[in-house]
Amino acid sequence: QVQLVESGGGLVQAGGSLRLSCAASGRTVGNYDKAWFRQAPGKEREFVASISHNSGSTNYADSLKGRFTISRDNAKNTVALQMNTLKPEDTAVYYCAAGRSYYFTRRSQYDYWGQGTQVTVSS
């Protein structure tokens, strides 16, 4: 079992930045790579970025490359998502997820999920 708790969401103006954090716990947490997804109202949950627990290798949604950065701190069992130059269309609930491979980009491929944190970008 893996437990995931997100934090860091909030309200920010367009062009601003936010840093989300995901605290992971559980006996098998080290066996899972981590990812961020987001879900806007009325839309499907979509892949944002992922990171390998062991190597730190990363994978990003093409549309978000250059603005978002995922990182991890294995000593603290945390994963962060730095979001820069935010746009109103980035408004969504952001979820942390754990899965067997950071290559995975589909919701169904991830085994554990956090409760989500709301990010609202005002224009």
Q: Is the pLDDT of residue 65 over 90?
A: no
Q: Are 89 and 74 in contact (CB under 8 A)?
A: no
Average pLDDT on 14-38 reads 96
Per-residue pLDDT tens for 24-34?
999 988 899 99
Per-residue pLDDT tens for 79-94?
999 999 999 999 999 9
CA–CA gap between residue 93 and residue 39 (Å, rounded): 5
Closest C-alpha to 111, from 121, 96, 98: 98
Per-residue pLDDT tens for 69-123?
999 999 999 999 999 999 999 999 999 999 999 999 999 999 999 999 999 999 9
Whole-number Cα distances in Å, 94 to 27, 28, 31, 41, 80: 24, 23, 22, 12, 12
- The predicted pLDDT at position 11 comes to 98
CA–CA gap between residue 119 and residue 123 (Å, rounded): 13
- The predicted pLDDT at position 9 comes to 97
